[in-house]
Chains A and B, each alone.
Chain A
Amino acid sequence: MINLAKVIIAIAIAMLALTIGFGGGDIDTDEFALGTNNQLGVDRLDGQRVHCQALDTAGECIQASIARGYSKRLVWLGNSQLHAINQSGEGDVTAPVLLADKLRQHEIDAVSFSQPNANFLEHQIVYHYLKQKLDPEILVLPAVFDDTREEQIRDDILLGIQEPTVLQDLAGTKSLTIAQAEGGNYSGTSASERQNLQSIVEDELDAGLSSVWTGWAAREEARSAISIALYRLRNSILGIKPTSKRKKIPSRYIDNLLAFEQLVCNAVESDILTIVYIAPIRNDYAPPYIASEYEGFRSDVHNITRDCSAHFVNLENLVPNNLWGTKEATTVGGEPELDFMHFQFPGHVILADEIEKQVLSALK
Chain B
Amino acid sequence: MIFNSITYTLFLLVVVTLYWFLPRRVRLVGLFAASLTFYGFWSVPFISVMMASVVTDYVAALRIDKARSERVKSAWLYASLIVNLGLLVFFKYYYFLSGNIEGIASMFGYEVGLPYIHIILPIGISFYTFQSISYTLDVRRGFIQPERDFVLFGVYVMFFPQLVAGPILRAREVIPQLIQRPAFATSNIAEGMRRILAGLFLKVGLADQIAPIVDEMYAQDPAYLGAADTLTMAFLFGLQIYFDFSAYSHIALGSAKLMGIEFPENFRFPYNATSPRAFWRRWHISLGSWIRDYIYLPLTGAKVEDRSTGGIATANGEVVLVSQTRARLALALFITWITMGLWHGAGWAFVLWGAWHAIFIQIQRVMPSSIGFLGDYSNKLLAWLITLPIMMLSWIPFRTQDVGQAVELWVNMMRPEKFLLMGFRENAYLVTAVLTTLTLAAPFVWGWVRDKILGRQYVGAFIEVAAISFIAIIVLVYLRPMNQFIYFQF
Find chain A residues with CB under 8 A from B240 CB: 187
Q: Encode B41-70 as 1/0 by CB contact (under 8 A) with A.
A: 111000000000000000000000000000
Whether A15 and B224, one on each chain, are in contact in the complex, defined by CB atoms closer than 8 angstroms, is no
Contact of B2 among A177, A198, A252 (CB under 8 A): A198
Whether B215 and A4, one on each chain, are in contact in the complex, defined by CB atoms closer than 8 angstroms, is no
Q: Which residue of A lies closest to B434 (CB)?
A: A234
Whether B425 and A7, one on each chain, are in contact in the complex, defined by CB atoms closer than 8 angstroms, is no
- For this complex, 11 residue pairs linking A to B, each with C-beta atoms less than 8 Å apart, are A11-B197, A13-B472, A152-B216, A185-B215, A187-B486, A189-B483, A197-B40, A198-B5, A205-B10, A251-B225, A251-B423
Q: Does A228 contact B (CB under 8 A)?
A: no
- CB proximity of A45 to chain B, nearest CB, Å: 37
Find chain B residues with CB under 8 A from A3 CB: 186-187, 190-191
Q: Give bound CA distance, A234 to B433, whole Å.
A: 13
Task: Name which of B78-86, B166-174, B440-448, B473-481 contacts chain A.
Answer: B473-481
Find chain A residues with CB under 8 A from B427 CB: 234
Q: Does A249 contact B (CB under 8 A)?
A: yes
Q: Does A250 contact B (CB under 8 A)?
A: yes
Whether B476 and A189, one on each chain, are in contact in the complex, defined by CB atoms closer than 8 angstroms, is no
Q: Does A17 contact B (CB under 8 A)?
A: yes
Q: Does A332 contact B (CB under 8 A)?
A: no
Contact of A209 among B6, B186, B422, B469 (CB under 8 A): B6
Given contacts A6-B465, A187-B486, contact A202 B6 (CB under 8 A): yes
Q: Which residue of B lies closest to A149 (CB)?
A: B425
Q: Which of A17-45 contact B (CB under 8 A)?
A: 17-18
- CB proximity of B291 to chain A, nearest CB, Å: 25
Find chain A residues with CB under 8 A from B194 CB: 7
Q: Does A296 contact B (CB under 8 A)?
A: no
Q: Does A199 contact B (CB under 8 A)?
A: yes
- CB proximity of B121 to chain A, nearest CB, Å: 12
Contact of B41 among A4, A6, A181, A201 (CB under 8 A): A201
Whether B476 and A198, one on each chain, are in contact in the complex, defined by CB atoms closer than 8 angstroms, is no
Find chain B residues with CB under 8 A from A149 CB: 425
Task: Name which of A69-77, A157-165, A218-226, A264-272 contacts chain B.
Answer: A218-226
Whether B473 and A14, one on each chain, are in contact in the complex, defined by CB atoms closer than 8 angstroms, is yes
Whether A14 and B469, one on each chain, are in contact in the complex, defined by CB atoms closer than 8 angstroms, is yes
Most buried by B among A209, A222, A250: A250
Q: Does B95 contact A (CB under 8 A)?
A: no
The 6 residue pairs across chains A and B that have the minimum distance between CB atoms: A10-B468, A14-B472, A251-B224, A187-B211, A3-B190, A250-B224
Find chain A residues with CB under 8 A from B212 CB: 152, 187
Find chain A residues with CB under 8 A from B1 CB: 198
Q: Does A254 contact B (CB under 8 A)?
A: yes
Find chain A residues with CB under 8 A from B208 CB: 187
Q: Give bound CA distance, A197 to B2, whole Å.
A: 11
Find chain A residues with CB under 8 A from B190 CB: 3-4, 6-7
Q: Which residue of B lies closest to A246 (CB)?
A: B426
**What is the predominant secondary structure among interface residues of chain A facing chain B?**
helix
Whether B186 and A1, one on each chain, are in contact in the complex, defined by CB atoms closer than 8 angstroms, is yes
- CB proximity of A227 to chain B, nearest CB, Å: 10
Q: Does B464 contact A (CB under 8 A)?
A: yes
Q: Does A178 contact B (CB under 8 A)?
A: yes
- CB proximity of B481 to chain A, nearest CB, Å: 6
Whether A196 and B216, one on each chain, are in contact in the complex, defined by CB atoms closer than 8 angstroms, is no
Given contacts A205-B10, A209-B6, A251-B220, contact A187 B215 (CB under 8 A): yes
Find chain A residues with CB under 8 A from B6 CB: 202, 205-206, 209
Whether A186 and B423, one on each chain, are in contact in the complex, defined by CB atoms closer than 8 angstroms, is no
Find chain A residues with CB under 8 A from B483 CB: 187-189
Q: Does A151 contact B (CB under 8 A)?
A: yes
Whether B7 and A205, one on each chain, are in contact in the complex, defined by CB atoms closer than 8 angstroms, is yes
Q: Which of B374-412 contact A (CB under 8 A)?
A: 399
Find chain A residues with CB under 8 A from B219 CB: 151, 177-178, 181
Q: Does B214 contact A (CB under 8 A)?
A: yes
Whether A17 and B7, one on each chain, are in contact in the complex, defined by CB atoms closer than 8 angstroms, is no
- CB proximity of B253 to chain A, nearest CB, Å: 16
Q: Give bound CA distance, A199 to B219, whole Å.
A: 27
- CB proximity of A6 to chain B, nearest CB, Å: 5
Q: Give bound CA distance, A11 to B187, whole Å.
A: 16
Q: Does B484 contact A (CB under 8 A)?
A: yes
- Chain A interface residue count, CB cutoff 8 Å, equals 51
Q: Does B102 contact A (CB under 8 A)?
A: no
Whether A226 and B43, one on each chain, are in contact in the complex, defined by CB atoms closer than 8 angstroms, is no
Whether B464 and A6, one on each chain, are in contact in the complex, defined by CB atoms closer than 8 angstroms, is yes
Q: Which of A259-300 contact B (CB under 8 A)?
A: none
Q: Does A9 contact B (CB under 8 A)?
A: yes
- CB proximity of A147 to chain B, nearest CB, Å: 13
Whether A196 and B477, one on each chain, are in contact in the complex, defined by CB atoms closer than 8 angstroms, is no
Find chain B residues with CB under 8 A from A11 CB: 193, 197, 468-469, 472
Given contacts A198-B2, A199-B481, contact A250 B7 (CB under 8 A): no
Whether B5 and A4, one on each chain, are in contact in the complex, defined by CB atoms closer than 8 angstroms, is no
Whether A234 and B468, one on each chain, are in contact in the complex, defined by CB atoms closer than 8 angstroms, is no
Whether A201 and B465, one on each chain, are in contact in the complex, defined by CB atoms closer than 8 angstroms, is no
Q: Give bound CA distance, A216 to B240, whole Å.
A: 26
Find chain A residues with CB under 8 A from B214 CB: 187
Q: Give bound CA distance, A2 to B461, whole Å.
A: 9
Find chain A residues with CB under 8 A from B468 CB: 6-7, 10-11, 14
Other than the given A202-B7, A202-B480, 18 more pairs (CB < 8 A) read: A3-B190, A6-B461, A6-B465, A7-B193, A10-B467, A11-B193, A14-B468, A14-B469, A14-B472, A15-B472, A186-B399, A187-B208, A197-B40, A202-B481, A216-B476, A250-B421, A251-B220, A251-B223
Q: Give bound CA distance, A187 to B4, whole Å.
A: 14
Q: Give bound CA distance, A251 to B469, whole Å.
A: 42
Q: Give bound CA distance, A202 to B468, whole Å.
A: 25
Given contacts A196-B43, A202-B6, A251-B220, contact A181 B186 (CB under 8 A): no
Given contacts A149-B425, A198-B1, A249-B424, contact A188 B484 (CB under 8 A): yes
Find chain A residues with CB under 8 A from B225 CB: 251
Given contacts A205-B7, A205-B10, contact A222 B189 (CB under 8 A): no
Q: Give bound CA distance, A110 to B305, whole Å.
A: 76
Q: Encode A202-216 as 1/0 by CB contact (under 8 A) with B.
A: 100110010000011
Find chain B residues with CB under 8 A from A10 CB: 464-469, 472
- CB proximity of B476 to chain A, nearest CB, Å: 5
Q: Encode B227-257 as 1/0 by CB contact (under 8 A) with A.
A: 0000000000000100000000000000000
Q: Give bound CA distance, A2 to B427, whole Å.
A: 42
Whether A4 and B423, one on each chain, are in contact in the complex, defined by CB atoms closer than 8 angstroms, is no
Q: Give bound CA distance, A149 to B481, whole Å.
A: 29
Q: Encode A155-175 as 1/0 by CB contact (under 8 A) with B.
A: 000000000000000000000
Q: Give bound CA distance, A200 to B197, whole Å.
A: 24
Q: Which of B177-211 contact A (CB under 8 A)?
A: 186-187, 189-191, 193-194, 197, 208, 211
